[in-house]
Amino acid sequence: MSKIKLGSNMPTKAELTIRKSDCEPQLIGEPTGELYDVILYFGIIDILQDYDISKKLEHAYKSFQYDPTSISAVDPKQYSRRFKDFVYKAFQEDKVDI
């Protein structure tokens, strides 16, 4: 058995989910049990942007119209926390019996 190398030979599965209805907002659908092999591509595009006064003003302006925690221009610590929470929720570790 060969060692798994991150990004080159890492087996990955995704489960098909179905949303309850198109009318109500739902980020993640109900699991169906159907598993598929997938290849994941990761990218972080905002890494080179400073959270300067223009981003702070963008956050303040958009906060009047939208939920302040859901907009993209947020404090770097909040952005990091939100990103990690998403990754942990979307890519849960399989339990392996030994």
**Sequential pLDDT tens for the chain (98 residues):** 556 555 556 677 888 888 777 666 666 778 888 888 887 676 666 666 788 999 899 999 999 999 888 888 888 888 888 888 887 776 666 555 55
pTM as predicted: 0.45
Using DSSP's 3-state secondary structure scheme, residue 58 falls into helix
- 45 HSE (CA, 13 A, CB side): 3
Domain ranges of the chain: 13-90
Q: Quick one: residue 33, left, alpha or beta (phi over 0 = left, psi -120 to 50 = alpha)?
A: left
Using DSSP's 3-state secondary structure scheme, residue 5 falls into coil
